[in-house]
Amino acid sequence: MGSTHSDRHWARTLAAAGAALATLAAGLLVAGTADAATMRDPFERSIQNGNPGLWTNVGTITFSNGKKYENMAQSLGVVDRVNGKNTYCIEADTLYTGTTGDWGDWTDERTKPDAQRLAWLTDRHNGDRDDLTQAAIAGLIHQKLDPMGNEYLNGLRQLGWADGPSWDAYTAKMNSLWTEAVNGTPTDLDMQYRYTTGKRKGLVTPSITNVNGVEIAGIQYTAILNGPAVFDQTGTNTISGTTTNSAIHLPWTATGNGKVTVSVLHKIPKAARLSSPNQDLMGLSDPETVSKNITFQVQANFKPTIESNQTDHRIEYGHAPEDDLTWHADPTGGDWIAGATVKATGTLYHFAKKPVEGRTTVRDGVKAATATAAGDRDGATSHVDASSITMDPGFVKAHPGASPSSLPATGWYTWVWEITPDMQDANMRQYLPADYDWSDNVLEAETTLHARSMQPTITSSVSAAYKHDQSKVTGADGIERPAVQIGSAAASDKTDVVYLEKGGVIRDQVTLGVADINGDGKTDTADWLHTKDGQGEGWETEANQITIRVNGALYGGMTREQAEQAQKDAAAGKTVELPKQAVKLATTTFTTNRAGDYLLSSKKGEKPAGVWKAENGIDLTNLPSGYATFVYDITNRDQDTKAQTGIEPSRDYPFAKDVHEAPFSKDETIMGRLTPKLDSTVSSKEIKAGETTVDRLVVAKTNEKDVWPTYPQSNVTEGETPKGTPLSLDFHGVLYKVSDDPAAAIEQTDTVPDNAVKVHETDIKDVTGFGTYSTDSFTLTEAGTYAWHWTMTPSLAGDQNHNPLAALAWRQLTHGKVQHAFGLASEIVRVRKPDTPRCEVSTRSQGEVTMENGRADLHDELLLRNCEQAAKAEFELWKQTNGDQSGDVLITVTGKVDAKDGIHSPTVTVRETGTYYWREKVYDQTGRLVSYGDARKPNETVTVKEKPLASTGLGVLPAALAGMLLAGLGAAFALRNRRRA
């Protein structure tokens, strides 16, 4: 039966008291804080005191360890709140007497994972006031964390809920919440990154998953970029958000180059345990921060560079300064960004002097041209040729006509490359640092020598050409001396002259060089132009050098004063012109494609580079005495540059400036020593014994341009130019008796015959010029045939090493013996006996003969008087020349005929017009020469002429006209007289 209200109230009071005891026993009621040691009224229901949970029916729960709660109602739910957080029982078999103890981290490793899930679950439902929910959470805590939890839950199931759902509904709620805890508790934090645009842009993908690896939604996170990058959404290095059930992609953009570390953080509720001497509790401590880091490289931009090297480091006219480029990325700026195409601008600078890497800057040069190039990857190459070079307007204005393949003048051209953001296309500027300004500056590899022209040089040395000459000459004193004397600055006359004997070999040594146009301090193939087959890097060798032509000339006939003044002017850098009297004596030419020393000689046997050839009318064995100089030229008009290089020379492109070695340059003067020609004529060719004779010495020129030696006068006032003093020479004459017979014939010989007897000697001194000089008279008392012989006897032998002036004179005079031939007809004196008839021999020529049919027959008639001893005669026919007798030509010598007065010589036929003369020789019976006729005697001369043309009869007309004129004049006079009458 049912009880009354009072019964029910009493029953409830008793039940409450039992429940309070049970609760104390089970530890389900706790004080408000962990430090509260006082117990609440055991009859106060905690669950009804504001904390959610469920109550069971009254009953007994017995534990396997012997503990039990008898006749009590059990409550299950939040026992209290600490710092705003729910707390729960975790020791079902221990009597709860208070919260004495210390809160600490959950340390039990076995239950820690479940404690973490339950901490997450309690935190998630911390504000949930639903009784079933909190009772289910408390049950899960007993189930997972309490060693007696399952026994306790079984006891609760047996008691049943007093005012709650069925047990099945309760367990279903527990299972649902546990699934929620398992799925919602983060157990793993992962993060990945990937690049989307090079290393400049990319994504960070954080992943917060549960134990099953499933993305968890609703987790608040924060991502932080440590390094040169920002998140696209915030523009900063920090971003916060809440997870969803799908992957989270956080886009970023690099702001620089380097490492970026991404940190993702989120908080997880953390389980706490109250360690107490009575009842242990489970609650929440401050949330634990979980983080994950990942590091990667970012590159907002890169630093492109260029390695360049001119294709040819030496170019000649017609070739452009081409450049080869290789693109790179500066390692300090990261790798080349894929897809980036970078442009660079190159500037070509012209330098007058060779640039020095590290010292020369672009300010030292002149901007000549520009070019652009592009590279799209590390290692890419570009080539710059004439088609991609643009000339600078200012440079073209200063050098009209300048083009990439027609650069002005010789000089150095250097490419300087630069890369800046402004040079890039709009969509490419992002790949370079905003302040990037790269330049390779002036580099040796980027410099080429432009050899627009070469510049040959000529120096020559007469002394070098003659330094090995060993020729000798014997003087009048019988001493042998060198035929060549090399003067020097140390010589007493201070002149730079080589002295030569007449008739010697003409030599000079030419040193052909080339100017150092590349400024490397040496002259080599880099300073020479090359043939069209020798163009390009590595092809410019000596073998491919162009061949040039050198022309030489020898001018002579000049005086010492002219030579010395010219030498001084040349040494002073003045322009030296040849005097008007200078005569071109010889020329030569040679070609070569190498620098070096070249011998030029008139003697082919010396195998010279060029042979001196005489000018018309010049005899190299008889050059005029006096001073001569060599002159050399290299002129553009004499070269075949076009055929060799393939380029037509023009006014603005001569292959070189004309080279002219001026006359009387250093070591370019020779002096042909004077070798005078001697002749003499006696005053009378025939005299009587006791009469006197006089001889006239003729000192003549061997060459009509011979110059008499001079030396400067002494005792000159300082500052005045000394006048030239002519050299004074002495000559020694000897009169020899050749035969006692006044009619004896004398053979012309080079030396005095042994049978000649010296009868008289004389000297002619102080001869200072060409001319005729007479001896004193000398009386000949004995009959016979006499002949004069003259020798030059210079008085310098003892002075040339002491008197500077005499030494200078000595060098200008031949060191050889000067004399005339013995037996000259003009030098013979015949002294006859007074009473003895003299054999007179003469001839009578034809006088004048006219050529018939291109020939003329000549003969001579022998005339004898008082010549009984004459037995045989022979005749010489000579052709006379314009000069003296020495140049006459012997035509023939007839056979001998009987010597009779009036006999004719054998006929001789000649075929040339001109003047001829006969000379007869008469022999006695023994074959001794009795008489030898003189040369060029008028009665011995015959003139051969061309036959004149026949008369045409027109010669009568002038006479008739003259008669008519006279008749007319007579009539005029008659009329005149008549009018006067």
pLDDT in tens, 340-386: 999 999 999 999 888 888 888 999 999 999 999 999 999 999 999 99
What are the tens digits of pLDDT across the range 205-225?
999 999 999 999 999 999 999
What are the tens digits of pLDDT across the range 243-295?
988 889 999 999 888 899 999 999 999 999 999 888 899 999 999 999 999 99
Q: For residue 937, name the pLDDT band (cuts at 50, 70, 90).
A: confident
CB 822 within 8 A of CB 749: yes
Between the alpha carbon of residue 879 and those of residues 519, 745, 746, 890, 904, the distances in Å are: 68, 22, 21, 6, 19
Two structure tokens written together for 384? 């710059």
Whole-model pTM: value is: 0.57
| Closest residue by Cα to residue 876 from 737, 692, 739, 745 | 745
Q: Round to whole Å and give the CA distance between 867 and 873.
A: 12
Please list the alpha-helical segments (H only) found in 818-897.
none
Q: Which of 134-138, 489-493, 780-784 has the highest mean pLDDT?
A: 134-138
The whole-number average pLDDT for the span 710-729 is: 70
Q: Round to whole Å and give the CA distance between 592 and 589.
A: 10
Run of H or E including 413: strand 411-419
| pLDDT of 963 above 50 | no
CB 811 within 8 A of CB 493: yes
Question: What was the pLDDT predicted at 516?
Answer: 84
Question: What was the pLDDT predicted at 207?
Answer: 92
Question: What was the pLDDT predicted at 443?
Answer: 82
Q: Round to whole Å and give the CA distance between 401 and 388.
A: 18
Q: What does the mean pLDDT of the chain come to?
A: 84
Run of H or E including 6: helix 5-26
| pLDDT of 960 above 60 | no
Q: Which of 233-237, 535-539, 632-636, 742-746 has the highest mean pLDDT?
A: 233-237
Question: What was the pLDDT predicted at 953?
Answer: 43
> Burial of 256 by CB count in 10 Å (0-12 exposed, 13-18 middle, 19+ buried)?
middle
| pLDDT of 961 above 50 | no
- Residue 627 carries which side chain, given as an amino acid letter? Y
CB 228 within 8 A of CB 254: yes
Q: For residue 518, name the pLDDT band (cuts at 50, 70, 90).
A: confident
Domains of the chain: 53-184 (no CATH), 188-299 (2.60.40.10), 308-450 (2.60.40.2550), 456-671 (2.60.40.3930), 676-832 (2.60.40.1930), 840-945 (2.60.40.2550)
The whole-number average pLDDT for the span 502-516 is: 91
The whole-number average pLDDT for the span 723-731 is: 83
Q: Which of 170-174, 460-464, 832-836, 859-863 has the lowest mean pLDDT?
A: 832-836
> Burial of 64 by CB count in 10 Å (0-12 exposed, 13-18 middle, 19+ buried)?
exposed
The whole-number average pLDDT for the span 399-415 is: 87
* CA neighbours closer than 13 Å in the CB half-sphere of residue 755: 10
Question: What was the pLDDT predicted at 722?
Answer: 66
Question: What was the pLDDT predicted at 539?
Answer: 81
Q: Round to whole Å and give the CA distance between 750 and 316.
A: 65
- Residue 210 carries which side chain, given as an amino acid letter? N
- Over its C-alpha atoms, the chain yields an Rg (Å, rounded) of 69
Q: Which of 31-40, 302-311, 465-474 has the lowest mean pLDDT?
A: 31-40
The whole-number average pLDDT for the span 313-326 is: 88
The whole-number average pLDDT for the span 644-660 is: 76
The whole-number average pLDDT for the span 492-521 is: 83
Question: What was the pLDDT predicted at 561?
Answer: 85
Q: Which of 373-382, 918-927, 952-961 has the lowest mean pLDDT?
A: 952-961
CB 240 within 8 A of CB 220: yes
The whole-number average pLDDT for the span 741-755 is: 90
Question: What was the pLDDT predicted at 28?
Answer: 40
Q: Round to whole Å and give the CA distance between 673 and 433.
A: 85
User: Residue 495 contacts by C-beta under 8 Å, 6 or more apart in sequence?
Assistant: 487, 563, 564, 567, 669
Sign of CA dihedral 747, 750, 756, 758: positive
Q: Which of 704-713, 808-817, 912-921 has the highest mean pLDDT?
A: 912-921
Two structure tokens written together for 730? 């002495």
Higher pLDDT, 50 or 958: 50
The whole-number average pLDDT for the span 931-938 is: 86
Q: Which of 38-52, 647-661, 967-981 has the highest mean pLDDT?
A: 647-661
CB 652 within 8 A of CB 401: yes
Q: For residue 716, name the pLDDT band (cuts at 50, 70, 90).
A: low
SS3 (DSSP) at 348: strand
Residues pairing with 792 in the sheet: 731
What are the tens digits of pLDDT across the range 66-92?
999 999 999 899 988 888 999 999 999
The values of phi and psi at residue 273, to 5°, are -130, 130
